[in-house]
Amino acid sequence: SQELEQSPQSLIVQEGKNLTINCTSSKTLYGLYWYKQKYGEGLIFLMMLQKGGEEKSHEKITAKLDEKKQQSSLHITASQPSHAGIYLCGAGYNSGNTPLVFGKGTRLSVIA
Amino acid sequence: GAGVSQTPSNKVTEKGKYVELRCDPISGHTALYWYRQSLGQGPEFLIYFQGTGAADDSGLPNDRFFAVRPEGSVSTLKIQRTERGDSAVYLCASSSQPFSTDTQYFGPGTRLTVL
């Protein structure tokens, strides 16, 4: 089984609606990263969470870390077509520079 | 540019051939990572450099894969005797701080197709 599970695998929402993507780790997290990827492009860094209960926002995207559940959620408010893409969570399991373990991603489509 | 760059953006080769993929990290970043992403999957770790040395190469799938970073900046991922299963997007990332968990910034990737 995967160390990092993302849900849902894909999501289609109407423009203007809110949505949430979840990322759950089977191991204790040291850091949790959210990236966005468009087809044929690299990963664009969104946010990094490290402390339990931490919450960060950037424009209409908010991410939270639940240390007890080893889970992070990414919430998009009033979705727009520009939010469409693949959202990936990446986990760091050690302090210091460490390779990230990624989930399989959530493919988000926003329809007008 | 200020970001991570990778060349070529696309590479098509025949089974059995040798390929080299290049990564130019953000200037001053000491850590450099290679990942491989197959269709519908998240990136999977291959190798990590701290400076010139490979700090962790546990993700390299077999001895056909090799990477170097001779001057602690540009890195080259080398694949010998390519196989169709090597087809994927190869991503490079760099980060600045060697002793703290720091954000990894990714390049656009090289899409490798082995015919």
pLDDT tens for each residue of A88-100: 999 988 877 678 9
Residue A58 C-alpha, separation from nearest chain B C-alpha, in angstroms: 16
Give the model's pLDDT for residue A43.
Answer: 94
Which candidate, B38, B50, B40, places its Cα nearest to that of B91? B38
Q: In angstroms, rounded to a whole number, what is the distance separating the alpha carbons of residues B108 and A42?
A: 4
Residue from the list A45, A98, A103 with its beta carbon closest to the beta carbon of B105: A45
Residue A11 C-alpha, separation from nearest chain B C-alpha, in angstroms: 14
Decide: B23 and B6 in contact? Cβ < 8 Å.
Answer: yes
How many Cβ atoms sit within 10 Å of the Cβ of residue A28?
Answer: 9
Burial status of residue A87 (CB atoms within 10 A of its CB: 0-12, 13-18, 19 or more) = buried
Residue from the list B48, B95, B108 with its beta carbon closest to the beta carbon of A41: B108
Which candidate, B74, B67, B28, places its Cα nearest to that of B47? B67
Residue from the list A31, A43, A104 with its beta carbon closest to the beta carbon of B106: A43
Which ranges constitute the DSSP H helices of chain B? none
Give the model's pLDDT for residue A79.
Answer: 97
- Give the tokens for residue B7: 């060349």
Instruction: Please tell me whether residue B93 adopts helix, strand or coil conformation.
Output: strand
The yes-or-no verdict on residue B15 having pLDDT over 60 is yes
Contacts of A40 in chain B (CB under 8 A): 111
The yes-or-no verdict on residue A36 having pLDDT over 90 is yes
Any A CB within 8 A of B20 CB? no
Any A CB within 8 A of B57 CB? no
* Mean of per-residue pLDDT scores for chain A: 92
Binning pLDDT at 50, 70 and 90, where does residue A71 land?
very high
Decide: B94 and B4 in contact? Cβ < 8 Å.
Answer: yes
Q: In angstroms, rounded to a whole number, what is the distance separating the alpha carbons of residues A71 and A28?
A: 10
Give the model's pLDDT for residue B3.
Answer: 93
Binning pLDDT at 50, 70 and 90, where does residue A39 land?
confident
Cβ contact, residue pair A45, B103, below 8 Å: yes
Q: Is the peptide bond before B25 cis (omega within 30 degrees of 0)?
A: no
